[in-house]
Amino acid sequence: MKSLISFFIIFILLFSCNPNTRNDFVIIEKRPSYDFDLVQKEVLYFPLDSVSKFDLRSLHIFEDLSQNKYFVYLNSDRNRIYFYDFENRDIQSIIEIDRDGPSGISSKIQGLHVISMDSIYVVDEYNIYLINQEGEILDRDKFNGSNDFSFTLESGTKKNIVHHIGHMYLAISSELNPDLLESFQLKNQVLLDFDLASKKYSTHFEFPEIYSRRVFPINYADIYFTYNPKQDFFAFSFPADDSVHIKDLNGKEKAVFAGSKFAIEIRDLSEVEYFEDLMVYTKHYLTNISYGPIYWDPHKEVYYRIVEQPISGQHFNSKNWFKKCSIIILDEDFNIIGETSFDDNVNKLGIVDDSGFLIPIRCPDDTDDYLCLGVYKLEKVK
């Protein structure tokens, strides 16, 4: 009871003393249960041809009107999009995208979203292209920024494009100065809403309040989000914040605690350290926890939030710089119902599918001839 009273006192003090707090913004803290785990059930092998590589930039699952399911893989170096039969794992077709000429995309493709075989959206830093299965550009929209700030488009497996009722939603990256706290207070610098019919766009949402109080390295300025069409809101995961932020386009917002059970408070970075040495903030990022992509699974009605766990000082000194991950599982009301830890064979991103949560992994036999996906299913802990 004493700890509960203390929590409410702190809660009241924080919100009564913060002039930036809006009346409709609340923080909700719920009791975690850890009743569920993600368990690997099988490994899917997708063959790579002679010009392909292990490229995780943009992976996608697509189902056509005949209910044929495809695994879509982007080779970002070659501007090639591969369509695999999901069941047989055979390459069904390859779309070659020119780098020059009227159908050329010269800059590196960030991500893609497939509506149909003749309606494929491809995104680079400043453009959204509509292409067909021949790789021909049918339409192009260029984005130079808003009146208040410049931004680039973000997309890919970690930052999925959302297509919903004629609108396309993408994360954006504004020109933030990580050591200038005021830059994180800019309005509407998080999400792009692009109306595909009218060609008009708007930007929305801000960084959480923690970013205007404490200095973090640029690695912590990433934006991850997912969309829940059932409840018509966006859920955001920010690397420095243990809460998930739920926002809608009508101005409603709330934050729910969704931190790792392994977490300790993320240390901030003093301005003196930040300017002195590049290695200082590299070490900061590697030796602190950071929150990553978040995915809504409509089949199981849960969220998956990926966490990058810190490495030890010893691993940093020996340049063993791979951050292992865990995945927090939240139910549709954002109650934590589990957290699963993974080794360094598992990559820190995933694909939601009705067969399970698909995570790119190192192939069990260490072959480079395949892109392997682990199929992870939700199971109740015994």
**What three-state secondary structure class fits 9?**
helix
d(CA 84, CA 69): 8
pTM of the model: 0.90
Would the pLDDT of 18 be above 50?
Answer: no
Q: What is the pLDDT of residue 57?
A: 95
194 closest CA partner among 104, 133, 103, 130: 130
Residues in Cβ contact with 79 at an 8 Å cutoff, skipping those fewer than 6 apart: 96, 97, 98, 99, 105, 109
Q: What burial class does residue 184 get, using C-beta atoms within 10 Å of its C-beta: 0-12 exposed, 13-18 middle, 19+ buried?
A: buried
* Per-state percent for the chain, helix, strand, coil, to nearest 5: 15, 40, 45
Q: Is the dihedral angle over the CA atoms 221, 263, 346, 224 positive or is it negative? A: negative
Among candidate residues 374, 378, 367, the one with its CA nearest the CA of residue 54: 367
Q: Indicate if the pLDDT at residue 179 is higher than 80.
A: no
**Residue 249: pLDDT over 90:** yes
In angstroms, the CA 68 to CA 76 distance is 25
Q: How far apart are CA 36 and CA 382, in angstroms?
A: 9
3-state SS track over 277-320: CHHHHHHHHHCCCEEEEEEEECCCCEEEEEEECCCCHHHHHCCC
pLDDT at 4: 35
Alpha helix stretches (DSSP H) within the chain: 2-17, 271-276, 278-286, 313-317
pLDDT at 13 (0 to 100):
33
The torsion angles phi and psi of 282, rounded to 5 degrees, stand at -65, -45
Give the residue-averaged pLDDT of 189-198: 96
Confirm if 224 and 231 have CB atoms less than 8 A apart.
no
Q: What is the pLDDT of residue 271?
A: 58
Q: How many residues are given for the chain?
A: 382
Instruction: Please state the rounded mean pLDDT for residues 13-20.
Output: 36
Q: What is the pLDDT of residue 337?
A: 97
Q: What is the pLDDT of residue 2?
A: 34
Cα 117 to Cα 40: distance, rounded to the nearest angstrom: 31
Is the pLDDT at 11 greater than 60? The verdict is no
- pLDDT tens track for 351-361: 999 999 999 99
Residue position matching structure tokens 């069904």: 92
Q: Say how far apart CA 337 and CA 329 lie, in whole Å.
A: 6
Q: Which two tokens stand for residue 258?
A: 């969704």
Segment 297-315 mean pLDDT: 96
Average pLDDT of span 92-98: 95
Per-residue pLDDT at 103: 76
CA distances from 237 to 163, 199, 245, 358 (A): 19, 28, 7, 19
Q: What is the pLDDT of residues 335-351, one digit of tens each?
A: 999 999 999 999 999 99
pLDDT of residue 272: 53
- Token pair listed for 249: 């386009």
Tell me the sheet residues that pair with 328: 305, 339
Instruction: Say if residues 125 and 82 touch (Cβ distance below 8 Å).
Output: no
Task: Look over the chain and give the mean of its residue pLDDT values, rounded to a whole number.
Answer: 89
pLDDT at 273 over 70: no
Rounded CA-CA distance 247/253 in Å is 4
Q: Does residue 112 surpass a pLDDT of 80? A: yes
Q: Would you say the C-alpha torsion 271, 274, 277, 280 has a positive or negative sign?
A: positive
- Phi–psi pair at 328, nearest 5 degrees: -85, 135
pLDDT reading at 125 higher than 70: yes
Q: What is the pLDDT of residue 27?
A: 67
Which residue did the predictor score with more confidence, 43 or 183? 43
| Confidence at residue 165, expressed as pLDDT on a 0 to 100 scale | 95
CB 361 within 8 A of CB 346: yes
The single residue listed with the structure tokens 């975690």 is 32
